[in-house]
Structure 1
């Protein structure tokens, strides 16, 4: 199976319709939100250069989605020379097949292609989201050691130098 990470705006009408059907496991909704929230934050943003959406295609069918943000849409904890990862979602019917890892492997090159001057990727993850922590740390993201009170509990900041 061939996978590739592509910008949202390059999806054709059928792929956008398929992406609308992406479902997150109910226990993951609190962490990643759903596809409607992610697409809404992408599509209603008045500064399209500050938020980019990407879909992971498996044999040309969307199986995952994520957002990257840059100033002025960066969260307060992010470095201005980085891009931050948000709303990483793998369709619940496709989980366990390595698609989250495929997103993270393709992400650095895609981020540099979109924003050549960024120095790192950053994200914030709930400490109790064991699956996500394992995914990110296994993909060479580095835990900064900083924990802070987030929406649901304590969150950790992770960085991937580019």
Structure 2
């Protein structure tokens, strides 16, 4: 299976229709929402501060996430951040490490669209141990701050976006 991550805007009309059929497990909808809600944020008036990204496998959309910045940042995010939302892998493709594939690509995608963003942030339900394990395993750091979210306490995680030039020492 050949996978690649592309901007939502770069999908063909057929792929956009296929993406509407992405399904997550019912127990995941409370955390990630569904594809209809996520796409609604993208299909309104175009805005450079919200970007959608799609994981493609053999030319078929199997995953999705959004990045937001600026005026679309949630209350818990730092102003120099972009926030990750609605990470979804189609239920028929889960268990193959595709969530990790998306998370590993997020920093480069964020830098490519918004080079001025210093960090990525996300919010995850404190009881969602599977998601916490996935994010922490990919280098995200728990800030130690929690807040009351829609369905319980949420943990804030962050990932610094370092310029490759500063990494060379």
Root-mean-square deviation over aligned CA pairs:
0.9
Unaligned runs of 5+ in 1: none
Hey, what's the Cα distance between the residues in 1 that align with 2:40 and 2:25? Answer: 19
Counterpart contact for 1:4–1:106, Cα < 8 Å:
no
Aligned counterparts, 1:44-123, within 5 A: 44=44, 46=45, 48-123=47-122
Alpha-carbon offset, residue 68 of structure 1: 0.4
Please, what TM-score do these two structures have when normalized by structure 2?
Answer: 0.93
2:38 counterpart residue number: 38
2:11 counterpart residue number: 11
Partner of 1:101: helix, strand, or coil? helix
Q: How many residues align?
A: 161
2:28 counterpart residue number: 28
Partner of 1:157: helix, strand, or coil? strand
Unaligned runs of 5+ in 2: 162-169
Alpha-carbon offset, residue 47 of structure 1: 5.4
Q: Deviation digits for residues 79-116 of structure 1, max 9, x if unmatched?
A: 11110000000100000011100000111001000000
Alpha-carbon offset, residue 130 of structure 1: 1.4
Q: Deviation digits for residues 105-152 of structure 1, max 9, x if unmatched?
A: 111001000000111100000011111111101110000011111100
Please list every run of at least 4 consecutive aligned residues from structure 1 whose deviation after the TM superposition is greater than 6 angstroms: none
Hey, what's the Cα distance between the residues in 1 that align with 2:52 and 2:46? Answer: 13
Partner of 1:151: helix, strand, or coil? coil
Please, what TM-score do these two structures have when normalized by structure 1?
Answer: 0.97
2:158 counterpart residue number: 159
Hey, what's the Cα distance between the residues in 1 that align with 2:47 and 2:34? Answer: 20
Alpha-carbon offset, residue 77 of structure 1: 1.1
CA radius of gyration, larger in? 2
Aligned counterparts, 1:144-155, within 5 A: 144-155=143-154
